[in-house]
Structure 1
Amino acid sequence: MSEILGIMTHAIKNPDHFRRHARAAIGESFDGVLLYTPQGVDLHSKQIRGYLYRDGGWSKKNASYPKINLDIGFYPPSSLRKASLVKAHKELRFTAYGLGNKSKIQKHLVASSFLKPYLLPTERVQTSAQFSDFLEKHRSVMLKPINGWGGRGIIRVTMDKNRFQVEQNNKKTVHLPLSRLSSFLHGVLSRGGRHIMQKWIDIRNSEGSVYDIRALAQKNGEGKWQTTGTAVREGKRGVITSNIKSGGHAYDVERYLKKQFNNEKAEALTKSIAEVASYIPPYMEKSYNTRLSELGIDLAVDSSGRLWLLEVNIKPGKSIMKMVYGQNAWEQSFRLPYQNARHMLKAK
């Protein structure tokens, strides 16, 4: 199919929910959009069953592979394997590929001598004895699902003499005796699957709210990386994460940091944030030997003023762009992946 952009997602309840995506593609001179799920791809016949957007409307269609594809899905375990097979197929070309789970990403980050000073002690949870040792060493630990996103399922565990406490967003803090630590961990792993554990750092502001910094890095219409925007994400009072969807707010980075530290320190931190954010995208592409299109880079400043890199995400949300930079900047950030797709099609 000539000049058709393929868009793969996890589910299509109503194709009209993707009209904004289709219009962005049309705006970049694609003739139309083929919207599909991994289940709609027949890797043997090289046909895709999906919805074709053309002339302002959708129609069901069986079509050959588009020459360029965008992956916007968040796949549950039931469809993750098929999605991986589709992405691995040599004749289906995507603008970007995955990075794997948090444990794999951490291994790539640690391999960089530039990034190593910014990284927190982090390990994959293997046994309750290993977790107990890690907790005893660091006293307070964040437990994160290895495939989690958006702050979901994160737990803070803190040791206090012969007891430990468990904190989760929107749940009452629980205090348990240390003799229950092993059974507690078993319960977490049996319900939520694999996890990593990461040293907790105090990233609360002067009013006690947790905050971090999201840098949005994207390839532009020339296929070159740019930092589209950075913003402080401040969580609502009483929560352990700063996720916007959990009721948080976004603010300009330098102005926010000037309220927490002196002007000179805030300016130095803002410069370091920009350096880390510009370093990571090309480094990750080289380290993975793969192609990426956009990244969400999450950093944090602890109470002493030290900068840390928390994690790197593909398929980042863009709400910070609207909240800090305005509607036009948000719309531009939404269009950039389509401009990059158009560039890749022309450059082939």
Structure 2
Amino acid sequence: MPTPRIGYVSFRTDIQKAMPPMRLRALHAEAILHGARIELLDWSDFREDSDKILVWTWSPSGWQSERKYLSDITVIVGSPVNEQQRRLIEWIKATRPYIYDIGINKLKLAALLHSTQYERYLIPDAQIPKEESGEFIANFLTKYGSSVIKRSNANKGVGLLFVLKEQSGWRISDKKNIIFTLTEIVNEIMSRIKGRLAYRDFVIQKYIKSTATDGRAADIRAHVQRGYDQTWGITRVYVRLAEVGSLATNISLGGYQGPLMKYLELRKNRSASEIEAEIQQAALEIAEIQSATSPHPLSELGLDFLLDDEDKIWLVETNTHPQSSLHEHERAIDTVNYALALAGLKSNISVEK
């Protein structure tokens, strides 16, 4: 029987750096265990008049390339930025099974969850309009107090503005020693986002205080994936803690991650097991709701939750292509299993989830 081929296409210039080295190693190892092979597709080689593309494979002697027919299933990573890449995606979609994880912005997610039992997790937020933006922001701050301003699409925590209401006035996260009036803080915000509002959407969201016992900002990331049975399952749920003095918990911005239960055991209002069970159920069912509306097969999500002082759970956002530096092997298991199942390919081993 031919070796099942799982292809990856990324739009990076260096094809062999399509993904972090440890992720690539984990995928190679898991694929070999199943009798399959991971391939990297060179998007720059795509030609519409050819039915083959340059494929890179790894062996103990190093990387080797050969023009081949398209892999049995292709995982598309990232968004195209030119016409050649867009045409490649259309060719893949028309030729073989594929996985294409495309996320939705915070407002679309909120619309999906309205009128469901998970509406209770939604944090009050709104899109900042292109016109009369300052007045809109001022009204939102007056109604909700401390807030967060961010891009409507996830950006690994880059560009977050935390606007905090205190008795003496308003503060902004990166100017902690300056007290602003409401008018001044709105002017400060507008000076930072006004130029980008013309081509990018921003949302303003009520700030939910979610901290560890030592005062550091904290959130909970639930990484969920589809496996061989194509249903959603838990890959890993863990706590993320911000660097001292920061409000952003993202690992890319210096945050930390650790075991969830150790964090939950210190909560005061609810038991650790109760909170964990609720988060896991919410993560799986929200993933199901989102994937049901996705135009492409959705294989994984990273869902971010907050716990306020009363241990109420709040949903911040869902992310495609979540960070997984400390659980690459666990991620690879479901990645390979789901790819094989979606392509109707068999494995050398039992693939029950």
Same-fold call, TM > 0.5?
yes
Question: Which letter maps to 1:340?
Answer: Y
Question: Which letter maps to 1:216?
Answer: H
Match of 2:64 among 59, 64, 83: 59
CA–CA distance in 2 between the matches of 1:311 and 1:84?
A: 27
Q: CA deviation at 1:12?
A: 4.0
Residue in 1 aligned with 2:102? 98
| Cα separation, partners in 2 of 1:85 and 1:172, compared to 1, 3 Å | farther
- Identify which range, 308-317 or 121-130, moves more after superposition: 121-130
Could you list the per-position Cα deviations for residues 307-327 of structure 1 after superposition, in whole angstroms to 9, with x for gaps in the alignment? 111111111112354xxxxxx
Could you list the per-position Cα deviations for residues 7-39 of structure 1 after superposition, in whole angstroms to 9, with x for gaps in the alignment? 0113142627755244543443234513334x5
1:90-239 maps to which residues of 2 (within 5 A)?
Answer: 90-108=94-112, 110-126=113-129, 127-160=133-166, 163-168=169-174, 174-180=178-184, 181-182=186-187, 184-191=189-196, 193-239=200-246
| Cα separation, partners in 2 of 1:32 and 1:313, compared to 1, 3 Å | closer
| Cα separation, partners in 2 of 1:312 and 1:46, compared to 1, 3 Å | farther
Asked if structure 2 preserves the Cα contact closer than 8 Å seen for 1:205 and 1:303, the reply is no
1:78-89 maps to which residues of 2 (within 5 A)?
Answer: 79=81, 86-87=88-89, 89=93
- Identify which range, 200-209 or 47-56, moves more after superposition: 47-56
Asked if structure 2 preserves the Cα contact closer than 8 Å seen for 1:164 and 1:177, the reply is yes
User: 2:224 is paired with a residue of what secondary structure?
Assistant: strand
| Cα separation, partners in 2 of 1:331 and 1:347, compared to 1, 3 Å | closer
Residue in 2 aligned with 1:325? none
| Cα separation, partners in 2 of 1:289 and 1:347, compared to 1, 3 Å | farther
Could you list the per-position Cα deviations for residues 257-288 of structure 1 after superposition, in whole angstroms to 9, with x for gaps in the alignment? 221225x5333212211210221222212233
User: 1:346 is paired with a residue of what secondary structure?
Assistant: coil
CA–CA distance in 2 between the matches of 1:80 and 1:268?
A: 48
Q: CA deviation at 1:300?
A: 1.0
Asked if structure 1 preserves the Cα contact closer than 8 Å seen for 2:301 and 2:319, the reply is yes
Question: Which letter maps to 1:212?
Answer: D
Could you list the per-position Cα deviations for residues 302-348 of structure 1 after superposition, in whole angstroms to 9, with x for gaps in the alignment? 01211111111111112354xxxxxxxx4132232122112222269
Residue in 2 aligned with 1:346? 344
1:9-24 maps to which residues of 2 (within 5 A)?
Answer: 9-13=10-14, 15=16, 20=25, 21-24=27-30
CA–CA distance in 2 between the matches of 1:61 and 1:111?
A: 50
| Unmatched tracts of structure 2, length 5 or more | 347-353
Q: CA deviation at 1:50?
A: 4.0
CA–CA distance in 1 between the matches of 2:36 and 2:324?
A: 23
User: 2:332 is paired with a residue of what secondary structure?
Assistant: helix
| Cα separation, partners in 2 of 1:344 and 1:152, compared to 1, 3 Å | same
Q: CA deviation at 1:155?
A: 1.0
Question: Which letter maps to 2:192?
Answer: G
CA–CA distance in 2 between the matches of 1:111 and 1:175?
A: 37
CA–CA distance in 1 between the matches of 2:275 and 2:74?
A: 37
Q: CA deviation at 1:48?
A: 6.1
Asked if structure 2 preserves the Cα contact closer than 8 Å seen for 1:295 and 1:313, the reply is yes
User: 1:129 is paired with a residue of what secondary structure?
Assistant: helix
CA–CA distance in 1 between the matches of 2:70 and 2:7?
A: 8
Question: Which letter maps to 1:255?
Answer: K
Q: CA deviation at 1:84?
A: 5.9
CA–CA distance in 2 between the matches of 1:80 and 1:277?
A: 34
CA–CA distance in 2 between the matches of 1:102 and 1:82?
A: 30
Structure number with higher relative contact order (C-alpha < 8 Å, ≥ 6 residues apart): 2
CA–CA distance in 1 between the matches of 2:247 and 2:294?
A: 31
CA–CA distance in 2 between the matches of 1:267 and 1:214?
A: 16
Residue in 1 aligned with 2:275? 269
Residue in 2 aligned with 1:292? 298
Asked if structure 1 preserves the Cα contact closer than 8 Å seen for 2:225 and 2:300, the reply is yes
Q: CA RMSD in A?
A: 3.1
| Cα separation, partners in 2 of 1:14 and 1:69, compared to 1, 3 Å | closer
User: 1:269 is paired with a residue of what secondary structure?
Assistant: helix
Question: What TM-score comes out, normalization by structure 2 length?
Answer: 0.81
CA–CA distance in 2 between the matches of 1:47 and 1:112?
A: 47
| Cα separation, partners in 2 of 1:83 and 1:239, compared to 1, 3 Å | farther
Asked if structure 1 preserves the Cα contact closer than 8 Å seen for 2:225 and 2:235, the reply is yes
